[in-house]
Amino acid sequence: MGNVTTRPMGRVDSQGRIIPDSFLDQTFRGDYTGTNLIYKGSARAGAEEGSLSWQIAKLEYDASNNLLSVKWPQNTHGNVSTQYIFSWTARAAYTYV
């Protein structure tokens, strides 16, 4: 398992301005192969790793360890999703596109 960090996350209003009181801390999880980050996940601070409250992405690299793509999992309807609706513990079981 990777490191745990938090970062501030703010919302914006309809004009694109940051709402000052909207900042939320987020938890980060990373799964590494050697030095490469393979899966990255974010959720609200305190979220259980098995809860359906994670945004997960899978990173793919070439033979020289250069990042080639970031892929997102499919939701229950088969659509690619960046929403916070996935389980960190099930990250390897999702289909990424």
Q: What is the pLDDT of residue 13?
A: 77
Q: Does 15 score more than 90 pLDDT?
A: no
Strand runs labelled E in 5-64? 5-9, 24-33, 36-44, 55-61
Cα–Cα distance for residue pair 38/28, rounded to 1 Å: 13
- Enumerate the domain spans of the chain: 30-93
At 28-71, the pLDDT tens digits run 999 999 999 999 999 988 889 999 999 999 999 999 999 999 99
Place of tokens 């996350």: 9
Q: What percent of the chain has pLDDT over 90?
A: 66
Decide: 85 and 53 in contact? Cβ < 8 Å: yes
Q: What is the pLDDT of residue 4?
A: 44
Q: What is the DSSP letter of 18?
A: B
